[in-house]
Amino acid sequence: SEYAEAIINNDMDAQFQIKERLHYCSEYYDAAFKAREQQEHDQEFLLSGAAAYFFLDDFGSAKVLSEAINREHIQNDAKGILTEILNLLFIGRRKQSFESTLLNFVKIYLQTGKEEQALQEADYYMIQMDVEGSPLDVFFSEVLCAILRIMIGYSARKLLPEYSSIESEKWKAYFDQKNAIKLIWPSQKLIGEKEILTGKNAVVQLPTGVGKTKSIELIIRSMFLGDRGDTALIIAPLRALCNEITDDMHRAFQKDVIINQFSDILELDFESLFCNKRKQKILICTPEKLQYIFHHQSDYINEIDLFVFDEGHMFDDESRGALYELFVTDIVTNLRSNQQMVLMSAVLSNADKICYWAFEEDGVLAYDE
């Protein structure tokens, strides 16, 4: 509650002093729900834990807790409105259909970027709860006001055009899609601030569960929208991971883009993909498969506009590390100025050295403790 008030009052000193205690709150309410000892308080536990995670910029954990709330518990009160705001943010839709002016304005904001009415209505609702509501209503109305302010600060509509140096109009078709992101997660904010969405070569260190796949999607989407190329290649170490990435890319881009995971019949892949110069393409394969391709058809390396290496810590793999390093070296050596390369990893103890080895002064390191 103190942290929510600090956000509403834009008190940066208070936010800094209180934030460390939020870690305890998030873990406490998470555990309180999982203990299953007071199930009548499930919604309160889950919402309080989700809010604490949200205030910590841990949107992934906030999403997990908010999605665990039983739809039957969502009523037209402060808890229900906060639950539905989180549903709109994380899954793009509401779970209940009760009438709420505040939720209508939040939905309009997410569709148009017009924030003023949503903020005014949230402030009005908080004042109303102060007069008419229970202590819980007052608490959750404060929390939802604070979350709305954070939501606007992390708005994808606001930040993606800025980070990519691409005008908002070009992003409009994406924002109008149901699966478009509403929030820029901290990992994506880091990528944006490092100018990777404008085409910079980079080493990106991101742990699992912070939106890495969505970050890859945004890097590719920025290249397409910025007219910097039409072919992206994602290299992942395992076939199973390639399958997973392929499914994610199909969900993200649907029928707008050719998405192909190289099969064992490479000649057919080449014929069907590279003969279509005008269609945007995302290709996915393992390092070994790609090395085989480039060994037999070295000219195809010039057809790739963006290389994304997932799980870059394979440099340390005893059986495949040396081969992986030689392969990356080969691509880096032949990288042209109009091609982009992004090396992503969850764990790289010497990420700064790898970044300099790969790109010297032309690359950036995206890393945050």
pLDDT in tens, 266-293: 555 555 555 556 688 898 988 877 777 7
Show Cβ contacts of residue 324 under 8 Å, excluding neighbours closer than 6 positions. Answer: 237, 287, 314, 315, 317
pLDDT grade for 42, boundaries at 50, 70 and 90? very high
Summary mean pLDDT of the chain: 87
Band of pLDDT at residue 312, cut at 50, 70 and 90: low
This prediction's pTM: 0.86
- Mean pLDDT on 200-209: 83
What sign results for the dihedral spanned by CA atoms 157, 162, 166, 167? positive
Q: What is the pLDDT of residue 274?
A: 57
- Going by C-beta distance under 8 Å and a sequence separation of 6 or more, which residues neighbour residue 308? 216, 219, 220, 232, 233, 234, 235, 341, 342, 344
List, for residues 162-190, the tens digit of each pLDDT value.
999 999 999 999 998 888 888 998 889 99
Lowest mean pLDDT among 148-162, 266-280, 333-347: 266-280
Q: Identify the pLDDT of residue 186.
A: 87
Strands 281-285 and 231-235: parallel
Model confidence at 82: pLDDT above 70? yes
Among the residue ranges 194-203, 241-250, 347-356, the one predicted with the least confidence is: 347-356
Nearest to 365 by CA among 207, 147, 193, 230: 193
The residue that leads in pLDDT, 188 or 206, is 188
| Predicted pLDDT at 321 | 67
Residue 355: band (very low, low, confident or very high) from pLDDT cuts 50, 70, 90: confident
Instruction: Say yes or no to pLDDT of 236 above 80.
Output: yes
**235: which 2 tokens?**
């290299």
pLDDT in tens, 220-229: 999 999 999 9
Mean pLDDT of 213-222: 92
Task: Give pLDDT, residue 209.
Answer: 67
The confidence score (pLDDT) of residue 266 equals: 53
C-alpha–C-alpha distance, residues 209 and 359, integer Å:
27
> What integer pLDDT is reported at residue 313 of this predicted model?
63
The predicted model gives 127-151 an average pLDDT of 94
Can you read off the two tokens belonging to residue 188? 């994506």
Could you give the CA distance from residue 91 to residue 184 in angstroms, rounded to a whole number? 14
In the block, residue with structure tokens 């070569």: 201
As a residue count, the chain comes to 369
Query: Which residue, among 286, 202, 293, has the nearest Cα to 239 in the 3D structure?
Result: 286
Q: Give the pLDDT score at 263.
A: 60
Task: Identify the residue with better confidence: 366 or 269.
Answer: 366
CB 47 within 8 A of CB 176: no
Which tops the pLDDT comparison, 325 or 122? 122
Query: Across residues 48-59, what is the average pLDDT?
Result: 94
Cβ atoms 347, 203 nearer than 8 A:
no
pLDDT at site 300: 76
Residue 129 pLDDT: 93
